[in-house]
Amino acid sequence: PSKQIYCSGDSILLDAKIGAGYNNPVYQWQFSSDGGTTWQDIPGATAEDLKLNTLTTAQAGKYRLILAESGNINLTKCRIITDNIGITIKQSPVVKATAAPPVICKGQTSTLTGSGTTTYTWSNGASGSSIQVNPIATQSFTVVGKDLLTGCTSKATATVTVNTVPDSPTIVGPDSICSGNAATLTATAPGGIYNWYDTATGGTPIFTGDLYNTPILTNSKTYYVETVSPAACASYVRTPATVIVH
């Protein structure tokens, strides 16, 4: 292999270079976890090359290849054993990524947090364990976490689901009334849930529904209504409706 120090999750190809002189060679790779004192055959490792996929730290140790003519692999005097190679495997970090909140309305932000290691680099180019994002559509973000002590890395992904924001509603209702009367205001398009307010921003709804019957009015008054989607996203701007009292 090109190197002898790996991280868990890596792959290794151990390739032996066998010279001429064998008519029908057979192979057996062996592994030692005690520095070469004892060796065990690796089940199924009977090719000239050995591919180790998705390494774990338990696979750290020494490897060697036994070569012989067919039928002689178990005869000590009739086989060749290659020099062994030591493989060090460091534990890769277990990286996690979360989004809070994981579901937002278009225009809002979500905080992405990486955990489990030392440094973090995100797929949008940002770095740090915690970053804010405001995607315009549902998007997945991948973070690469690196352990500065071992140099090993791992990846994790967090998805932010983005819901669309409904249009502001259209209001139908009287422009003016006589003092001492109430007015009925109706929210029509675009459909959904309608929240009514007595302020343009902030505050709490004074009524929820299509038809809002105002209290008895003796002075002109402006009301505001917003559309709320099934995903709980509110229109960016509340539509005003002013009732002029004569």
Tens of pLDDT, residues 96-151? 999 999 999 999 999 999 999 999 999 999 999 999 999 999 999 999 999 999 99
Q: Could you tell me the pTM of the whole model?
A: 0.80
Per-residue pLDDT reduced to its tens digit, 51-97 = 999 999 999 999 999 999 998 988 988 999 999 999 999 999 999 99
Is the confidence at residue 194, as pLDDT, over 80? yes
2 pLDDT tier (thresholds 50, 70, 90): low
Cα separation, 212 vs 184, in Å, equals 6
Reported as a pLDDT band with limits 50, 70 and 90, residue 1 is low
Q: Which residues of 182-191 are buried (b: 16+ CB within 10 A; e: fewer)?
A: ebebbbeeee
Side-chain half-sphere CA neighbours of 83 within 13 A = 3
In angstroms, rounded to a whole number, what is the distance separating the alpha carbons of residues 10 and 51?
11
In this model, does residue 19 exceed pLDDT 80?
Answer: no
Q: What pLDDT does residue 173 have?
A: 86
Place of tokens 């032996």: 16
Whole-angstrom distance, CA of residue 63 vs CA of residue 76: 18
d(CA 14, CA 137): 45
